[in-house]
Amino acid sequence: MNIQRDGIRLLNDELRHDFAKGQVVMTCGIAALGEDAVARIVRAIKEYDDFNESNDPWNEHDFGAFEAEGAKIFFKIDYYDRALSMHSPDPADSTVTERVLTIMLADEY
């Protein structure tokens, strides 16, 4: 058990389930798929549970990959300080961390 890692994972899962817990951005490629497709992709991210050693080696639930809308979709969570000017000093502490979830096509990574 790693308390730091467990805290990061919990906060990442909270963001995936409730986008109001941080910031969410999408690439132009995702936006170009259209509003209905984006809604389905967002739902898939909220329901995503295929974390494993190959896509989540640190067990932080900060990255996922899946097929949707005929494309490979990635999502990635990054940790910034509250001013969004540098990396967070402590990603397990929500009082000093702003989480940003990016939704992208795999070929945009």
Instruction: Show the beta-strand stretches assigned E in 3-97.
Output: 23-26, 63-68, 71-80
Q: How many domains does the chain have?
A: 1
Q: What is the pLDDT of residues 49-92, one digit of tens each?
A: 999 999 999 999 999 999 999 999 999 999 999 999 999 999 99
3-17 and 35-47 are packed helices; what angle lies between their axes, rounded to 10 degrees? 150
Element (H, E) at 2: none
The predicted structure's pLDDT at residue 1: 73
Average pLDDT of every residue of the chain? 97
d(CA 57, CA 37): 29
Q: Is the pTM of this model over 0.85?
A: yes
Are the beta carbons of 71 and 104 closer than 8 angstroms? no
Residues 6+ apart with CB under 8 A from 25: 100, 101, 102, 103
**Dihedrals phi, psi of 41, to nearest 5 degrees:** -65, -45
For 65, the domain range is: 3-108
